[in-house]
Chain A
């Protein structure tokens, strides 16, 4: 079964600090890697995504890195804010089986003021 492994399961950081979330995957055919953010009582929403032809993508305080050789990706949040407290999911999909998006189990992030 295709898997996307995500760590840590839970993370607490202080306001202003840098948050780092990581994921690994097995299937080398994956070529699209989105990160989703979920607030309590809401559905997940796309935060940032990267294609396998790139190794870095930035969007404001959020940056995702992709390492094709190691089959790893990460999400960095600089100047973390209490409003960033949420659950973050990494995911993966590929062109050969594009109907399925495989999600990691999520990371619960708590940013303390």
Chain B
């Protein structure tokens, strides 16, 4: 069964600190995505990747970096975390015009 695993599931970070959110997929999908979900905004695309070694900016990339070292792994990096980055983050994987599979999410609180 298709699986996307995110870690950690919950994270409290201090302002100015570095945060790394990790994602692993066992679907062998080419495409991977990072979204954040906030009330009133739905799902907003931060970064995406269409294969190992590639990262592309989504709609709200400012303050975030991404890394795709392998087909299976896609990380989201907050170099200098700010309270405005408090949110629920979802990683997902998929291929062209097919179902996108989401992880269970990471709840990040920046204090």
Identify the A interface with B (CB < 8 A).
Answer: 1, 6, 31-32, 34, 36, 41-46, 49, 51, 89, 91, 93-95, 98-106
Contact = CB atoms under 8 A, between A and B. Distances in A.
Contact of B42 (A100, A101, A104): A104
Interface of B: 4, 31, 33, 35, 40-43, 45, 48, 50, 56, 58-59, 90, 92, 94, 96-97, 99-100, 102-105
A4 to B, nearest CB: 9
Contacts of B92: 43
6 contacts: A31-B97, A43-B90, A44-B43, A49-B99, A98-B31, A105-B42
A11 to B, nearest CB: 15
Contact of B97 (A32, A41, A103, A106): A32
A9 to B, nearest CB: 8
Given A44-B43, A44-B102, A45-B102, A101 B94 contact: yes
Contacts of A36: 100, 102
Nearest to A49: B99
A13 to B, nearest CB: 21
Contacts of A98: 31, 96-97
Contact of A43 (B41, B42, B48, B105): B105
Name the 6 nearest CB pairs between A and B, nearest first. Answer: A43-B102, A105-B42, A98-B96, A32-B97, A103-B43, A46-B99
A95 B41 contact: no
Nearest to B44: A103
A110 B111 CA distance: 32
A13 B78 CA distance: 41
